[in-house]
């Protein structure tokens, strides 16, 4: 799989990591392409599996000599409007790290399926051309480059890559129904809509 990382070859990069299929594949693609990066992960502590995901992130960071930034969030129960609160916490955390540590690029693992879901959602809302093409690989906002290098790669391709290379990853089954909603909220944040 050939991916072009030329836009971030010489920048200080932070990868939004979750230990899921998309971000784990992206972690290894960045390594293979000799892209310098560190990782950040948010643990909302709502699933027993999340501790294992954080441990895996720490293991990868140690093994590949990456800085890791971890935010622990504790909810007694899942709050109403969890998706929005989670997104706000996540992006506030990324913003704090980027400013404090002088990162230039936030790399996210949005992939082709996310892009198609975004397009279909916009189409059903009767969106104009700007909204339909709004899911771009690079967006500069507040002097931070939001970089999504996997937009032409399907989730299945990413999973096949991980399986073929015997790379461990996690699947968060609790997110299956929330994925589209979270993706759209993330895009609104980046596009400042």
Give the start-to-end residue ranges of the domains of the chain.
6-191
Q: Which of 96-100, 107-111, 179-183, 186-190 has the lowest mean pLDDT?
A: 179-183
**193 vs 179: CA distance, rounded Å:** 19
Q: Long-range contacts made by residues 55-58, C-beta under 8 angstroms, separation at least 24?
A: 56/19, 56/168, 56/170, 57/17, 57/19
pLDDT value at residue 77: 66
Q: Residues 114-140: what's their mean pLDDT?
A: 56
Counting DSSP H helices and E strands in the chain, the numbers are 7, 6
Residue 147 predicted with pLDDT over 50 = yes
H or E element, residue 64: none
Q: Is 12 helix (H, G, I), strand (E, B) or coil?
A: coil
Residue 84 predicted with pLDDT over 60 = yes
Q: Which residues of 18-28 are buried (b: 16+ CB within 10 A; e: fewer)?
A: bbbbbbbbbbb
Q: Is 166 helix (H, G, I), strand (E, B) or coil?
A: coil
Summarised one tens digit per residue, pLDDT across range 18-46 is 999 999 999 999 999 999 999 999 999 88
Residue 176 predicted with pLDDT over 50 = no
Name the DSSP letter for residue 1: -
Q: Residues 41-66: what's their mean pLDDT?
A: 94
**Do 104 and 145 contact (CB within 8 A), yes or no?**
yes
Mean pLDDT of the chain: 82
H or E element, residue 6: none
**Do 159 and 24 contact (CB within 8 A), yes or no?**
no
Domain 6-191 listed as CATH 3.40.50.620: yes
**122 vs 103: CA distance, rounded Å:** 31
């Amino acid at each position: 799989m050939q991916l072009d990382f030329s836009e971030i070859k010489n920048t200080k990069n932070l990868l939004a990591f979750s230990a899921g299929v998309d971000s784990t594949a992206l972690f290894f693609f960045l390594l293979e392409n000799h892209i310098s990066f560190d990782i950040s992960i948010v643990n909302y502590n709502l699933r027993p599996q999340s501790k294992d995901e954080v441990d895996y992130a720490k293991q990868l960071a140690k093994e590949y000599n990456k800085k890791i930034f971890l935010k622990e969030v504790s909810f007694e129960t899942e709050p109403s409007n969890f998706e929005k609160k989670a997104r706000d916490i996540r992006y506030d955390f990324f913003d704090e790290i980027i400013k404090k540590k002088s990162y230039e690029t936030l790399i996210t693992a949005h992939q082709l399926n996310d892009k198609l879901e975004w397009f279909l959602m916009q189409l059903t809302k009767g969106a104009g051309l700007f909204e339909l093409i709004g899911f771009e690989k690079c967006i500069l906002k507040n002097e931070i480059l939001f970089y999504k290098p996997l937009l032409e790669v399907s989730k299945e391709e990413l999973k096949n890559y991980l399986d073929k290379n015997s790379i461990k990853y996690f699947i968060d089954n609790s997110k299956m129904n929330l994925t589209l909603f979270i993706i759209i909220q993330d895009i609104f944040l980046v596009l400042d809509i």
